[in-house]
Structure 1
Amino acid sequence: MAVQKNQEGMDLGQFRKESLSDFSSNKKLKDRLRRVKSKKLDEEFAQLHDSVFEEIDCLECANCCKTTSPIFLQTDVDRLAKVFRMKPSVFLDTYLHRDADGDFVLNSSPCPFLGEDNKCLVYEDRPKACREYPHTNRKNMHGILGLTLKNTLVCPAVYKIFQQIGKDYRK
Structure 2
Amino acid sequence: MPFNPEQHRQKALNQDKENKNFLERLKKRTPKDLDQKASEFHEESVETFNCLECANCCKSISPIVIDRDIDRIARHLKLRPSDLIDKYLRLDSDGDYVFQTSPCPFLMPDNYCMIYEVRPRACREYPHTDRKRFHQITPLTYRNTFICPIVLDVVEKLKQSYL
TM-score range, shorter chain: over 0.9
Q: Does 1:5 align with 2:26?
A: no
- 1:168 to partner: Cα distance: 2.8
* CA distance in structure 2 between the aligned counterparts of 1:84 and 1:54, rounded to whole angstroms: 32
Using the alignment, how far apart are the partners of 1:95 and 1:20 within structure 2? 32
Matched residue SS, 2:93: coil
Whether 1:116 and 2:113 are equivalent positions in the alignment is no
What is the letter of the counterpart of residue 5 of structure 1?
P
Q: How many residues align?
A: 162
| Moved segments of 4+, more than 6 Å | none
Q: What SS does the corresponding residue of 1:146 show, helix, strand or coil?
A: helix
Identity, in percent, stands at 44
Equivalent position of 1:66 in the other structure: 59
Match of 2:76 among 83, 102, 116: 83
TM-score by length of 2: 0.95
Task: Give the Cα–Cα distance (whole angstroms) in 1 for the partners of residues 150 and 101 of structure 2.
Answer: 23
Query: Aligned partners of 1:134 and 1:63: how far apart in 2?
Result: 11
Distance 1:163 1:134 in 2: 15
Q: Output one character per residue of 1:33-82: Cα deviation in whole Å (capped at 9) or x when no partner.
A: 12123x41101100100111111110010000000000000010011111
Unaligned runs of 5+ residues in structure 2 are: none
Partner of 1:40: 33
Question: CA RMSD of the aligned region, Å?
Answer: 1.3
Q: Deviations over 1:10-35 (max 9, x none)?
A: x2211111112211111001022121
CA shift, 1:166, in A, is 1.0
Q: How far apart, CA to CA, are the structure 2 residues paired with 1:24 and 1:107?
A: 31
The one-letter code sitting in structure 2 at the alignment partner of 1:167 is Q
Instruction: For 2:79 and 2:46, locate their aligned partners in 1 and report how far apart those are by CA, in whole Å.
Output: 35
